Amino acid sequence: MLAVDEVTTKYGALTALHAVSLHVNEGELVALVGPNGAGKTTLLSTVVGLLRPTGGTVRFDGRTINGLDPAALVAAGLALVPERRRIFKDLSVAENLRLAGVTAKAPDRKQRMEQMAELFPALHEKWDLSAGFLSGGQAQQLAVARALMCDPKLLLLDEPCLGLAPTMVDVIFDLLQRLRSQGRTVLVVEQQAQRVLGIADRGYVLRTGTVVAEGAGPELASRADLFETYVGGS
Ligand code: ATP
């Protein structure tokens, strides 16, 4: 579904991605891990058109998408939940979701709202509450739910557990597993490398802008050498 082929992305003189290749097949949960500054966010930003690669190609659903603007990519079925979650704090939870699904036809929007209520029971309890009153974990769930309101073909998540309390981290991991079992296609960047690889179909380890390992998630998670050398932490 997504094919990143030899992509190079630069910030001025700094090359953040050096000919990176990775792919995500339909229905897969793919984890992208690596130390701070490895280029994980840069990769996601390149895929969703926020950054233009200076080399290589990004293909989505068989179509080359380099250089398309982010709005066109959302329409094509890509949705990014960025590291700093984007929600409207002054709007209620339900209003946040309705707004995120504004381009959908009314019956589809209604059906997706029902799906979100089922997928995120903790949010459903707070449907009419201002989103500003949500906990960090609930706000993250709302950010993911907003992305799902567009019914994306591919969901990209950038560090969904960042700054969350351990119990909320468990909730997000549970959510990732449920998305996987629903057959959603997800590319997730996560600091808790071994844990996310443990539940991923496949994974990639990125270091200083280069893919240094790839393979089945649990297999990568079991490679202690990789984590001592490249990723660090749990
Ligand atoms: P983290 O886990 O800390 O978010 P990351 O793996 O997502 O790290 P990136 O944020 O993609 O890494 O950064 C890759 C490299 O590009 C780093 O050297 C970083 O300093 C640099 N970089 C990132 N954003 C910019 C920017 N806007 N301008 C210049 N350099 C940048």
Asked whether residue 69 carries a pLDDT value surpassing 90, the answer given is no
Asked if residue 33 has its Cβ within 6 Å of ligand 1, the reply is no
First-to-last C-alpha distance (Å) of the chain: 29
Asked if residue 36 has its Cβ within 6 Å of ligand 1, the reply is yes
15 CB neighbour count, 10 Å cutoff: 17
Asked whether residue 167 carries a pLDDT value surpassing 80, the answer given is yes
Quote the pLDDT of residue 233: 46
Ligand 1 atom nearest the C-alpha of 209 is 14
Q: Which residue has the higher pLDDT, 68 or 97?
A: 97
Asked whether residue 85 carries a pLDDT value surpassing 90, the answer given is no
Confidence of residue 231 (pLDDT cuts 50, 70, 90): low
Asked if residue 192 has its Cβ within 6 Å of ligand 1, the reply is no
Q: Which amino acid is at 183?
A: G
Ligand 1 atom nearest the C-alpha of 189 is 7
Asked whether residue 232 carries a pLDDT value surpassing 60, the answer given is no
71 CB neighbour count, 10 Å cutoff: 9
CA distance 146 to 2: 21
The whole-number average pLDDT for the span 155-170 is: 92
Give, for ligand 1, the residue of 11, 45, 48, 206 to mutate: max count of ligand atoms closer than 8 Å to Cβ.
Answer: 11
Asked if residue 37 has its Cβ within 6 Å of ligand 1, the reply is yes
Closest residue by Cα to atom 1, ligand 1, is 36
Task: Enter the tokens of residue 195.
Answer: 């844990």
Ligand 1 atom nearest the C-alpha of 39 is 11
Tell me the average pLDDT of the chain.
92
Q: Which amino acid is at 179?
A: L
Closest residue by Cα to atom 23, ligand 1, is 42
Asked if residue 152 has its Cβ within 6 Å of ligand 1, the reply is no
CA distance 162 to 112: 26
What secondary structure does DSSP assign to the chain, as a single string?
Answer: -EEEEEEEEEETTEEEEEEEEEEE-TT-EEEEE-STTSSHHHHHHHHTTSS--SEEEEEETTEE-TT--HHHHHHHTEEEE-SS----TTSBHHHHHHHHTTTS-HHHHHHHHHHHHHH-HHHHTTTTSBGGGS-HHHHHHHHHHHHHTT--SEEEEE-TTTT--HHHHHHHHHHHHHHHHTT--EEEE-S-HHHHHHH-SEEEEEETTEEEEEEEHHHHHT-HHHIIIII---
Write the pLDDT tens digit of every residue in 9-54: 999 999 999 999 999 999 999 999 999 999 999 999 999 999 999 9
Asked if residue 16 has its Cβ within 6 Å of ligand 1, the reply is yes
Quote the pLDDT of residue 229: 62
Cβ atoms 32, 188 nearer than 8 A: yes
Look-up: residue for tokens 């939940």?
81
Q: Tell me how far the alpha carbon of residue 50 lies from the centroid of ligand 1, in angstroms.
A: 14
Ligand 1 atom nearest the C-alpha of 17 is 14
Q: Tell me how far the alpha carbon of residue 208 lies from the centroid of ligand 1, in angstroms.
A: 10
In the chain, the domains with their CATH numbers are 2-85+153-231 (3.40.50.300)
Residue 96's region, left for phi above 0, alpha for psi from -120 to 50, else beta, is: alpha
Closest CA to 205 of 232, 174, 177: 232
Write the pLDDT tens digit of every residue in 108-136: 999 999 999 999 999 999 999 999 999 98
Asked whether residue 104 carries a pLDDT value surpassing 90, the answer given is no
Cβ atoms 19, 7 nearer than 8 A: yes
Quote the pLDDT of residue 234: 44
Ligand 1 atom nearest the C-alpha of 44 is 11
Q: Which residue has the higher pLDDT, 115 or 225?
A: 115
